Chains A and B, each alone.
Chain A
Amino acid sequence: EVQLVESGGGLVQPGGSLRLSCVASGFTFSNHWMHWVRQGPGKGLVWVSGISNDGRGTTYADSVKGRFTISRDNAKNTLYLQMNSLSADDTAVYFCARDHAKTPDYWGQGTLVTVSS
């Protein structure tokens, strides 16, 4: 059974940093691109960032480019998102999602990031 479990969310002050993690199981992690998608309170889903199966290729939404860094450790079956210079606009539930043939087919339960003073 495919499982994705996010962690690392919490309350952080504006300008602060946070690192999210997503532990994968039930599939060969190193065979798949992986992505982060976020959902602000009462809002729709927004794609944030993606990383290639070997970690060499990365993509970012314009809204986070230069502030967020996606990475992965295939030996640990873990995906990361380092978030810096956070603002209130970054407040959201952050989901990790598996990419299967250009479709986000499995999602984690999400981790809540709240940016507030």
Chain B
Amino acid sequence: QSALTQPRSVSGSPGQSVTISCTGTSSDVGGYNYVSWFQQHPGKAPKLMIYDVNKWPSGVPDRFSGSKSGNTASLTISGLQAEDEADYHCCSYAGAYTWVFGGGTKLTVL
């Protein structure tokens, strides 16, 4: 039940693209296509942005995209906007109805 590894922070200017990585193991990220990404503004609940590696929930703009290669998943945000500034968390199913999360990445829009 070790946490997934995310960079502590990333930054980008408006209009640019940023990618956040999420590294796990073959027991979680690499073993299942159940990786999800959450956006969390200060004091708020996490909001689902991507599920099943690369699917969008209703209402999430397609500027947000997900991918996976081996034990590493990635979230790419293109056309950065000021409102994208938030913490981003990855999550993977880890078998037997358990989940494992990353440590979170703070996105700063310069």
Contact = CB atoms under 8 A, between A and B. Distances in A.
* Number of chain B interface residues as a range: 20 to 34
Given A102-B32, A102-B34, A104-B36, A44 B57 contact: no
Interface residues of A, number: 27
Contacts of B99: 35, 37, 47, 50, 104
Given A44-B89, A45-B89, A62-B1, A105 B48 contact: yes
Given A61-B1, A102-B34, A47 B46 contact: no
Interface of B: 1, 3, 6, 32, 34, 36, 38, 44-48, 51-52, 57, 89, 91, 93, 96-104
A4 B25 CA distance: 31
B37 to A, nearest CB: 10
Interface in A34-79: 35, 37, 43-47, 50, 52, 57, 59, 61-63
Given A44-B3, A46-B3, A103 B97 contact: no
A47 B48 contact: no
Contacts of B36: 103-104
A103 B48 contact: yes
A62 B45 CA distance: 24
Nearest to A50: B97
Nearest to A105: B48
B10 to A, nearest CB: 15
Interface stretch (A11-19, A83-91, A107-115): A107-115
Nearest to B44: A109
A107 B91 CA distance: 14
Contacts of A102: 32, 34, 93
A80 interface: no
Which residue among B99, B101, B103 has the maximum number of chain A CB atoms within 10 Å of its CB? B99
A57 B97 contact: yes
